[in-house]
Amino acid sequence: MASYWIVVRRENRELLETLSIAFRGRTGFDVVADRRLTRTPRRRGPMERRGPQLAWGADEFIVAERLDSPFSVC
């Protein structure tokens, strides 16, 4: 069964709360705030290991499909 993350910009707390309420109790959907670190010129070191910074553009949220690992323990 497919499952999804609805990732909301961390600055948009109102949308996060609204979507959390809308998807409450729905199996396979999790609403989360974007917690990735942003890289600034003053910050040294590698980006967060979860991947490159995503360019949000005009989007306020992103829907990402989660894949179950074939190695997960049931």
Each residue's pLDDT tens digit, 6-54? 999 988 999 999 999 999 999 999 999 988 766 555 555 555 555 555 6
pTM score of the predicted model: 0.64
Pairing of strands 3-8, 61-66: antiparallel
Q: What is d(CA 10, CA 65) in angstroms, rounded to the nearest whole number?
A: 19
pLDDT band for position 2 (cuts 50, 70, 90) = confident
The CA angle 6-20-67, to the nearest 5 degrees, is: 30
Contact between residue 23 and residue 6 where contact means Cβ atoms under 8 Å apart: yes
Extended beta strands in 2-71, E state? 3-8, 29-33, 61-66
3-state SS class at 21? helix
